[in-house]
Structure 1
Amino acid sequence: MKVLHLLKTAVGASWALRQTRELIKLGVEVHLALPDGPMVEKYRAQGVEVHILQTALNIKKPWANIKLFRQFRQLVADVQPDIIHSHFVATTLTMRLALGRNDPIPRIFHVPGPLHLEHGLFRRVDLWTASKADYWLASCEWTRQCYLQNGISSERLGLAYYGVDIEAHHGQNTGKLHREFDIPADAPVVGNVAYFYPPKKYLGQKRGLKGHEDLIDAVDIVAQQVANLHCVFVGGPWGESHAYFESVKAYAAEKQHGRFIFTGTRHDVQDVYAELDVAIHPSHSENVGGAVESLLSGVATITSDVGGFPDLIKTDQTGWLVPKADPQALAEAIRDALANPDKRKQFAAQGYDLAAYLLNVKNNASDITRYYQALIHEHALTPKNNSENHCETTV
């Protein structure tokens, strides 16, 4: 079985490296098209056949897509994959538009997150560009339900999480974060681990995607009653969003209560998690996000109630769910978590078990391989025809 994967970046996206590595172990011949970058050699080291090509649709320079489509069609002709597996909206649109509606190769859009589905125009573009050869793999239950509600049949829709290496999330509390930033040993510490993504103004966003400003507001509220509360932000600006990163730091500096620490990008995240009393992920849109990391690190976790977070965070079982963009509700959850260490310990243990079950990359790769096999079998039995298959959408 030969599968061509499409990525728009060779920076980060380690989830794709883990997935392709495990697929190869299961006997899949993995080809990967992506731009040049630091991850390329890591893919090659795992046995992935790499093709250097930026396959993301060029929105800013649409005329450049003529050459891109030609290059993509040539790549498909050279590789001759049994399946094409795309991981981003922009690579999916290239795949569909370059090959057209009558190409027989099964094409999977493995949806990395729900953001485009939350906005009518982008959701319709996804559905309207799909043809009979197109299938979807949701990576959280919210996404799967959204496609079902928008007319995609269950026969064309699967569910496969982007898994992690369970054993890689066991950090050690060495106290280095406390020493580095002069945090008293008895100070309550909450934290967030995420890149800083600026608001997408064309989507009407006023605050960043990861809800950093909401967490700052919530900590300011809680710190009026909880002495010496520290909030640690681990992560730097994504891409060219340095100005936004600095604006968030300035916003925190204006607050009168609590101490806010910005560490920038670090490579000892598991050890940092081990020093937190509570991990907080107040995203406005998300898949499972950082919740899997904090749960697998054994840390009590609070998240917003968006996207895939509810797959992992079960109220009164594995953590605290709060409405997105609601600093007051977030503050109440933080207060409850800090005031109840036994509850934190219980939720963290139960959350670990659930995350280890749902997000084990070996299990996820097995799910994907079975999905591949089912598609190939289905297409072997289905008579080829040129009929189009538009999807009905709900507004």
Structure 2
Amino acid sequence: MKVLHLLKTAVGASWALRQTRELIKLGVEVHLALPDGPMVEKYRSQGVKVHILQTALNIKKPWANIKLFRQFRQLVADVQPDIIHSHFVATTLTMRLALGRNHPIPRIFHVPGPLHLEHGLFRRVDLWTASKADYWLASCEWTRQCYLKNGIDSERLGLAYYGVDVEAHHGQNKGKLHQEFDIPDDAPVIGNIAYFYPPKKYLGQKRGLKGHEDLIDAVDLVARQRPDLHCIFVGGPWGDSQDYFDSVKAYAAQKHHGRFIFTGTRHDVQDIYAELDVAIHPSHSENVGGAVESLLSGVATITSNVGGFPDLIKPDQTGWLVPKADPKALADAIADALANPEKRQQFAAQGYELAAYLLNVKNNAGDIARYYQALLSEHALSPRTNQESHCETSA
């Protein structure tokens, strides 16, 4: 079986490297179209057949798409894949528009997150440009349900998470943060590890996508009773959003309770997770996000109730789930977690078991390979849901 994957970036996106690596182990001949960049040689080293081409639709220069579509059609003619597998909205639109509605090769849009589905215009563009050759792989249950509610037949829709190497998420508590930022050993430490994404004003957003401002507000509330509370923000601005990053730091500096520490981008994330009492992911839109990292690092986890977070965070089982953009509810969850260390330990252990099964890249690659086979044999694939996974994990 020969599959052509489409990526819009060769910077980061390590999830794609893991996925293609495991698919090759399962006997899939993987071709990959992406722009030149630092990840290219890593793909080649894993046996991926790389084709240098930026396949993302050019919105700012629509006339440039004429050449892009021609190049893409030539690539498909040269590779002659059995399936085309796209991982971004922009690459999916190129795939569909360049090949047209009657092209015979099956095309999969592996949906990386729910953001475009949460907004009517972008959701309709996805649905309107699809034809009988198009199929979808959701990467969380929310996304799968959204497509079903919007009329996509279950036989055209699968579920496959973007997995991780479970064994790579075991850090050691070396006390780095405590030493570097002079944090007392007995002080409670919570943290968020994420890039800073500015609000998208054209989507009506007033706060950043990752909910950093909500966490600052919540810490200010909790620290009125726990004045020694420390909140660590690990991560820098995404792209050219330095102004937004600075504005978030300025917002935290205005608060009178709690201590806020911004470390910028770090490369010792697993060791940092090991130092946290609680990991917080208060995103306004998300797939499974950083929750899988904190759970696999053995850290008690609080998330907002959005996107794929509920696939991993089960209230009173694997963590705390709170409404998005609700600092008071978030503060209550933080206070409860800090006040109950045994509960933190229990939830973290149970969360690890669920994440280790549900997000294991070997399992996820198997899900995708089965979907390929089902698609080519015209049989529907029953998705491996988180409920089924949890039952198997608990057995």
Which TM-score tier does this pair reach, normalised by the shorter chain?
over 0.9
Distance in structure 2 (CA, Å) of the matches to 1:39 and 1:240 = 21
Residue equivalent to 1:340: 340
Aligned-partner SS, 2:377:
helix
Residue equivalent to 1:87: 87
Distance in structure 2 (CA, Å) of the matches to 1:228 and 1:44 = 49
Q: Figure out how many residues of one structure are paired with residues of the other and give that number.
A: 379
TM-superposed deviation, 1:236: 0.7
TM-superposed deviation, 1:227: 2.4
Residue equivalent to 1:221: 221
TM-superposed deviation, 1:378: 1.9
Distance in structure 1 (CA, Å) of the matches to 2:184 and 2:43 = 42
TM-superposed deviation, 1:330: 0.3
Residue equivalent to 1:249: 249
RMSD value, Cα: 0.7
Aligned-partner SS, 2:8:
coil
Aligned-partner SS, 2:95:
helix
Q: Where do residues 273-288 of structure 1 align in structure 2 (5 Å cutoff)? A: 273-288=273-288
Residue equivalent to 2:105: 105
Contact persistence 2:169–2:296 (CA under 8 A): yes
TM-superposed deviation, 1:38: 1.0
**Which 4+ residue blocks in structure 1 deviate beyond 3 angstroms?**
none
Distance in structure 2 (CA, Å) of the matches to 1:51 and 1:209 = 32
Distance in structure 2 (CA, Å) of the matches to 1:180 and 1:18 = 33
Q: Where do residues 193-212 of structure 1 align in structure 2 (5 Å cutoff)? A: 193-212=193-212
TM-superposed deviation, 1:181: 1.1
1:57 matched to 2:52? The reply is no
Unmatched 5+ residue regions in structure 2?
380-395
Residue equivalent to 2:76: 76
Distance in structure 1 (CA, Å) of the matches to 2:63 and 2:374 = 37
Aligned-partner SS, 1:117:
helix
Q: Where do residues 282-321 of structure 1 align in structure 2 (5 Å cutoff)? A: 282-321=282-321
Please identify, of 175-184 and 159-168, the stretch whose mean Cα deviation from structure 2 is larger: 175-184
1:155 matched to 2:155? The reply is yes
TM-score by length of 1: 0.95
TM-superposed deviation, 1:18: 0.4
Residue equivalent to 2:349: 349
Q: Which has the higher contact order (CA 8 A, sep 6+)?
A: 1
Aligned-partner SS, 2:248:
helix
Structure 1 residue identity aligned to 2:17? L
Distance in structure 2 (CA, Å) of the matches to 1:359 and 1:51 = 28
Distance in structure 2 (CA, Å) of the matches to 1:267 and 1:45 = 23
Q: Where do residues 126-137 of structure 1 align in structure 2 (5 Å cutoff)? A: 126-137=126-137
Q: Deviations over 1:160-205 (max 9, x none)?
A: 0000000000000010111111111111000001011110000000
Structure 1 residue identity aligned to 2:361? V
Residue equivalent to 1:33: 33
Residue equivalent to 1:324: 324
Structure 1 residue identity aligned to 2:183? I
Structure 2 residue identity aligned to 1:114? P
Distance in structure 2 (CA, Å) of the matches to 1:186 and 1:39 = 42
Distance in structure 1 (CA, Å) of the matches to 2:90 and 2:247 = 29
Contact persistence 2:227–2:257 (CA under 8 A): no
Distance in structure 2 (CA, Å) of the matches to 1:293 and 1:17 = 17
Aligned-partner SS, 1:190:
strand
TM-superposed deviation, 1:56: 0.5
Distance in structure 2 (CA, Å) of the matches to 1:378 and 1:323 = 40
TM-superposed deviation, 1:357: 1.0
Distance in structure 2 (CA, Å) of the matches to 1:33 and 1:252 = 42
Residue equivalent to 2:164: 164
Unmatched 5+ residue regions in structure 1?
380-395
Residue equivalent to 1:12: 12
Distance in structure 1 (CA, Å) of the matches to 2:42 and 2:213 = 35
Structure 2 residue identity aligned to 1:146? C
Distance in structure 2 (CA, Å) of the matches to 1:133 and 1:126 = 14
TM-superposed deviation, 1:97: 0.2
Aligned-partner SS, 1:217:
helix
Structure 1 residue identity aligned to 2:269? V
Aligned-partner SS, 1:378:
coil
Structure 2 residue identity aligned to 1:108? I
